Amino acid sequence: MNEQTTPNPLSALALKLRRDPRYMAYALAAYQQQENLSDKELAETLSILPELIVRLALCRRPAASAPQFAEQVRELADFTLTDESQLAGILRQVDGLEKLAALPVTAPETEAQAETQFGLPLAGLLAAARDREEETDDQAQINEPPAAKNMADDE
């Protein structure tokens, strides 16, 4: 939901919920940002109607580590006609990104807490994740033997 399309009250609500990690809107936005997907591309990826993406965004987000995760994903998949395994994959990926960024993943008690705790959630998460990836890449380059590096350059 990176682009403003037809004004729709439910879409507007979903946009507001992108800041709240308790909702699917947050998870979808995080996934879009991570994969650099526009709204259109997200709809293509999920092969569902736009109305159903908004519907999905307005649902609560299951915790990937919860014992009832599979059942909860099935509930969302049935309600939005989304592919169950694809949805589970998106949620796990976003969850993994959060863990990587080492930010709090527990649901805040209030909206105010949610905003404070996750002030700029996606930007913060992704920036932290990218920094770590870059650090890892830099480190890998540093550790790479010169011969191997030259071979890679030749290719």
Partner 1 sequence: MSSQIDLRELGERLHQLLLEQASLTVTSRIAEVFLPELLKRLPRSFPTVSDQHLIASCAEDALLEYLARPEKFDPARGTLLTYLRLLARSRLLNELRRKNSTGQQEVVAVEEAETVYGVASGADWDESVRLSEHETEQRIAAKLRPIVTDSTDQQVLELMLEGVRETSAYAVVLGITEQPVSEQQRIVKQHKDRVRKRVQRKLGPRGWQV
Q: Which of residues 91 and 101 has its CB atom nearest to partner 1 in the complex?
A: 91
CB of 127 to partner 1, least distance (A): 26
88 belongs to the binding site for partner 1 (CB under 8 A): no
Bridge partners (DSSP) listed for residue 60: 23
30 belongs to the binding site for partner 1 (CB under 8 A): no
Question: C-alpha distances in angstroms, 149 versus 30, 64, 88, 132, 135?
Answer: 34, 38, 37, 22, 18
CB of 106 to partner 1, least distance (A): 15
Q: Which of residues 5 and 136 has its CB atom nearest to partner 1 in the complex?
A: 5
Q: Tell me the C-alpha distance between 48 and 33, whole Å.
A: 19
Residue located via tokens 């890998």 = 140
Phi/psi of residue 127, nearest 5 degrees: -60, -45
Short-list 106, 66, 62, 99, CA closest to 84: 62
Site for partner 1 in 42-71 (CB under 8 A): 43-53, 55-56, 58-62
DSSP 3-state assignment of 21? coil
Q: Which of residues 118 and 129 has its CB atom nearest to partner 1 in the complex?
A: 118
Q: Which of residues 21 and 101 has its CB atom nearest to partner 1 in the complex?
A: 21
Q: Left (φ > 0), alpha (ψ -120 to 50) or beta: where does 74 sit?
A: alpha
Q: Which of residues 16 and 132 has its CB atom nearest to partner 1 in the complex?
A: 16
Q: Which residues contact partner 1 (rule: CB under 8 A)?
A: 9-10, 12-13, 16-17, 23, 40, 43-53, 55-56, 58-62, 72, 75-79, 81-84, 110-111
